[in-house]
Protein backbone atom coordinates (compact mmCIF):
# COMPACT_ATOMS: atom_id res chain seq x y z
CA UNK A 1 0.00 0.00 0.00
CA UNK A 2 2.77 2.43 0.99
CA UNK A 3 4.70 1.66 -2.20
CA UNK A 4 1.57 2.38 -4.29
CA UNK A 5 1.10 5.77 -2.59
CA UNK A 6 4.74 6.71 -3.16
CA UNK A 7 4.52 5.74 -6.81
CA UNK A 8 1.25 7.67 -7.33
CA UNK A 9 2.63 10.78 -5.60
CA UNK A 10 5.78 10.60 -7.70
CA UNK A 11 3.73 10.32 -10.87
CA UNK A 12 1.55 13.30 -9.82
CA UNK A 13 4.63 15.43 -9.17
CA UNK A 14 6.06 14.49 -12.54
CA UNK A 15 2.78 15.52 -14.21
CA UNK A 16 2.77 18.84 -12.31
CA UNK A 17 6.36 19.53 -13.34
CA UNK A 18 5.55 18.70 -16.96
CA UNK A 19 2.57 21.10 -16.86
CA UNK A 20 4.74 23.86 -15.39
CA UNK A 21 7.27 23.40 -18.19
CA UNK A 22 4.47 23.52 -20.78
CA UNK A 23 2.96 26.71 -19.27
CA UNK A 24 6.38 28.37 -19.21
CA UNK A 25 6.98 27.43 -22.86
CA UNK A 26 3.56 28.77 -23.90
CA UNK A 27 4.09 32.02 -21.99
CA UNK A 28 7.43 32.49 -23.72
CA UNK A 29 5.85 31.91 -27.14
CA UNK A 30 3.06 34.41 -26.38
CA UNK A 31 5.70 36.98 -25.39
CA UNK A 32 7.61 36.44 -28.62
CA UNK A 33 4.39 36.71 -30.66
CA UNK A 34 3.44 39.94 -28.87
CA UNK A 35 6.83 41.46 -29.70
CA UNK A 36 6.50 40.53 -33.37
CA UNK A 37 3.01 41.96 -33.81
CA UNK A 38 3.11 45.77 -33.96
CA UNK A 39 0.17 47.59 -32.36
CA UNK A 40 -2.45 48.73 -34.84
CA UNK A 41 -3.14 52.39 -34.20
CA UNK A 42 -5.56 54.85 -35.70
CA UNK A 43 -4.86 55.50 -39.40
CA UNK A 44 -3.62 59.08 -39.48
CA UNK A 45 -4.39 61.04 -42.63
CA UNK A 46 -1.97 63.84 -43.46
CA UNK A 47 -4.63 66.52 -43.86
CA UNK A 48 -6.09 69.23 -41.69
CA UNK A 49 -4.38 70.68 -38.61
CA UNK A 50 -1.12 68.87 -37.85
CA UNK A 51 -0.40 67.16 -34.56
CA UNK A 52 0.97 69.87 -32.26
CA UNK A 53 -1.01 72.69 -33.89
CA UNK A 54 -3.72 74.63 -32.09
CA UNK A 55 -7.06 73.39 -33.41
CA UNK A 56 -9.28 75.78 -35.38
CA UNK A 57 -11.41 77.83 -32.99
CA UNK A 58 -15.14 77.11 -32.83
CA UNK A 59 -17.87 77.89 -30.31
CA UNK A 60 -20.77 75.66 -31.27
CA UNK A 61 -24.12 74.95 -29.60
CA UNK A 62 -24.71 71.37 -28.54
CA UNK A 63 -27.72 69.62 -29.99
CA UNK A 64 -30.50 69.47 -27.39
CA UNK A 65 -29.15 72.34 -25.32
CA UNK A 66 -26.40 72.31 -22.73
CA UNK A 67 -24.64 75.47 -23.87
CA UNK A 68 -21.88 76.14 -26.36
CA UNK A 69 -18.85 73.87 -26.72
CA UNK A 70 -15.48 75.52 -27.27
CA UNK A 71 -13.12 73.83 -29.71
CA UNK A 72 -9.51 74.96 -30.03
CA UNK A 73 -9.57 76.78 -26.70
CA UNK A 74 -8.12 76.08 -23.28
CA UNK A 75 -10.37 73.66 -21.37
CA UNK A 76 -10.26 71.82 -18.06
CA UNK A 77 -10.04 68.43 -19.74
CA UNK A 78 -8.82 67.02 -23.03
CA UNK A 79 -11.47 66.59 -25.72
CA UNK A 80 -12.00 63.64 -28.04
CA UNK A 81 -13.89 64.86 -31.11
CA UNK A 82 -15.61 61.85 -32.62
CA UNK A 83 -16.99 62.46 -36.11
CA UNK A 84 -19.85 60.13 -36.95
CA UNK A 85 -22.99 59.66 -39.01
CA UNK A 86 -26.35 58.00 -38.21
CA UNK A 87 -25.87 55.82 -41.31
CA UNK A 88 -22.35 54.65 -40.40
CA UNK A 89 -22.45 51.06 -39.01
CA UNK A 90 -18.89 51.21 -37.63
CA UNK A 91 -19.73 54.44 -35.80
CA UNK A 92 -22.67 52.71 -34.11
CA UNK A 93 -20.47 49.76 -33.16
CA UNK A 94 -18.04 52.10 -31.40
CA UNK A 95 -20.65 53.99 -29.37
CA UNK A 96 -20.79 51.52 -26.43
CA UNK A 97 -16.97 51.56 -26.35
CA UNK A 98 -16.95 55.36 -26.29
CA UNK A 99 -19.46 55.39 -23.43
CA UNK A 100 -17.21 53.01 -21.49
CA UNK A 101 -14.15 55.16 -22.21
CA UNK A 102 -16.03 58.30 -21.13
CA UNK A 103 -16.66 56.75 -17.70
CA UNK A 104 -13.19 55.24 -17.27
CA UNK A 105 -11.31 58.37 -18.41
CA UNK A 106 -13.70 61.04 -17.07
CA UNK A 107 -10.99 62.61 -14.86
CA UNK A 108 -9.09 63.94 -17.90
CA UNK A 109 -11.22 63.38 -20.99
CA UNK A 110 -14.48 64.74 -22.43
CA UNK A 111 -16.01 63.07 -25.49
CA UNK A 112 -17.70 65.35 -28.02
CA UNK A 113 -19.68 63.92 -30.95
CA UNK A 114 -19.69 65.84 -34.22
CA UNK A 115 -21.52 65.53 -37.52
CA UNK A 116 -23.58 67.57 -39.97
CA UNK A 117 -27.03 67.38 -41.50
CA UNK A 118 -30.61 67.81 -40.33
CA UNK A 119 -31.04 68.44 -36.60
CA UNK A 120 -34.20 66.32 -36.35
CA UNK A 121 -32.49 63.24 -37.82
CA UNK A 122 -29.55 63.59 -35.44
CA UNK A 123 -31.76 64.25 -32.43
CA UNK A 124 -33.65 61.02 -33.12
CA UNK A 125 -30.38 59.13 -33.65
CA UNK A 126 -28.96 60.57 -30.42
CA UNK A 127 -31.97 59.35 -28.43
CA UNK A 128 -31.97 55.95 -30.14
CA UNK A 129 -28.35 55.17 -29.31
CA UNK A 130 -28.44 56.69 -25.82
CA UNK A 131 -25.86 59.47 -26.06
CA UNK A 132 -28.04 62.37 -24.89
CA UNK A 133 -25.60 63.04 -22.05
CA UNK A 134 -22.76 63.94 -24.44
CA UNK A 135 -22.19 67.18 -26.36
CA UNK A 136 -23.31 66.69 -29.97
CA UNK A 137 -22.25 69.29 -32.52
CA UNK A 138 -23.77 69.77 -35.97
CA UNK A 139 -21.38 71.74 -38.15
CA UNK A 140 -20.19 71.12 -41.69
CA UNK A 141 -17.51 73.77 -41.12
CA UNK A 142 -16.04 71.79 -38.20
CA UNK A 143 -15.61 68.68 -40.34
CA UNK A 144 -14.08 70.72 -43.16
CA UNK A 145 -11.67 72.44 -40.76
CA UNK A 146 -10.30 69.03 -39.71
CA UNK A 147 -10.50 67.68 -43.30
CA UNK A 148 -12.68 64.75 -42.30
CA UNK A 149 -13.19 62.68 -45.44
CA UNK A 150 -14.07 59.24 -44.01
CA UNK A 151 -15.87 58.02 -40.91
CA UNK A 152 -15.50 57.25 -38.08
CA UNK A 153 -12.79 59.83 -37.49
CA UNK A 154 -11.45 61.04 -34.15
CA UNK A 155 -9.30 63.99 -33.07
CA UNK A 156 -7.78 64.23 -29.60
CA UNK A 157 -7.24 67.79 -28.32
CA UNK A 158 -5.32 68.50 -25.13
CA UNK A 159 -6.26 71.01 -22.43
CA UNK A 160 -4.58 73.83 -24.36
CA UNK A 161 -6.65 73.11 -27.48
CA UNK A 162 -3.76 71.53 -29.40
CA UNK A 163 -4.19 68.53 -31.68
CA UNK A 164 -2.39 65.64 -29.96
CA UNK A 165 -3.53 62.71 -32.11
CA UNK A 166 -6.03 62.00 -34.89
CA UNK A 167 -7.08 59.39 -37.41
CA UNK A 168 -9.63 56.93 -38.71
CA UNK A 169 -10.77 54.59 -35.93
CA UNK A 170 -12.53 51.25 -36.30
CA UNK A 171 -11.92 49.59 -32.91
CA UNK A 172 -11.23 50.17 -29.22
CA UNK A 173 -7.52 49.54 -29.86
CA UNK A 174 -7.41 52.31 -32.46
CA UNK A 175 -9.26 54.70 -30.15
CA UNK A 176 -6.90 53.94 -27.28
CA UNK A 177 -3.91 54.38 -29.59
CA UNK A 178 -4.80 58.10 -29.68
CA UNK A 179 -4.44 58.27 -25.89
CA UNK A 180 -1.18 56.32 -26.08
CA UNK A 181 0.17 58.74 -28.69
CA UNK A 182 -0.66 61.66 -26.38
CA UNK A 183 1.03 59.99 -23.40
CA UNK A 184 4.15 59.18 -25.43
CA UNK A 185 4.18 62.62 -27.09
CA UNK A 186 4.25 61.19 -30.61
CA UNK A 187 2.03 61.92 -33.61
CA UNK A 188 0.83 58.32 -33.83
CA UNK A 189 1.60 54.81 -32.61
CA UNK A 190 2.73 53.92 -36.13
CA UNK A 191 5.29 56.72 -36.02
CA UNK A 192 6.66 55.42 -32.73
CA UNK A 193 6.80 51.79 -33.92
CA UNK A 194 8.42 52.91 -37.18
CA UNK A 195 11.04 54.87 -35.25
CA UNK A 196 11.79 51.89 -33.02
CA UNK A 197 12.12 49.59 -36.02
CA UNK A 198 14.48 52.06 -37.74
CA UNK A 199 16.64 52.27 -34.62
CA UNK A 200 16.75 48.48 -34.42
CA UNK A 201 17.87 48.31 -38.06
CA UNK A 202 20.68 50.79 -37.42
CA UNK A 203 21.89 48.81 -34.41
- Other CB atoms closer than 10 Å to residue 161's CB: what's the count? 19
Q: Are 175 and 42 in contact (CB under 8 A)?
A: yes
**Pair type for strands 153-157 and 78-83:** antiparallel
Q: Which CATH superfamily is domain 58-197 in?
A: Glutaredoxin (3.40.30.10)
Whole-number pLDDT of residue 38: 42
Model-level pTM? 0.75
Report which secondary-structure segment, H or E, holds 69: strand 68-71
pLDDT single digits (tens) 177-190: 999 998 888 876 65
pLDDT single digits (tens) 126-161: 999 999 999 999 999 999 999 999 999 999 999 999
Q: Strand, coil or helix: what is 116? A: coil
pLDDT single digits (tens) 47-83: 789 999 999 999 999 998 878 999 999 999 999 999 9
Domain ranges of the chain: 1-37, 58-197
Residue 139 CA to residue 198 CA, distance in Å, equals 41
Closest C-alpha among 139, 131, 63 to residue 96:
131
Whole-number pLDDT of residue 166: 95
Residue 62 CA to residue 123 CA, distance in Å, equals 11
Contacts of 90 (CB under 8 A, 6+ apart): 151, 152, 170
Length of the chain: 203
Q: What is the mean pLDDT of the chain?
A: 85
Amino acid sequence: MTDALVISNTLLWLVVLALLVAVFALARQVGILYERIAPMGALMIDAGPAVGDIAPRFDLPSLGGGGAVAIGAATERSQLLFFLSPTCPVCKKLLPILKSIAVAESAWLRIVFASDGEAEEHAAFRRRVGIEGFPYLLSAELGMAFRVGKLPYAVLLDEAGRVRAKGLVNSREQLESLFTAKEMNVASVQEFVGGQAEQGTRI
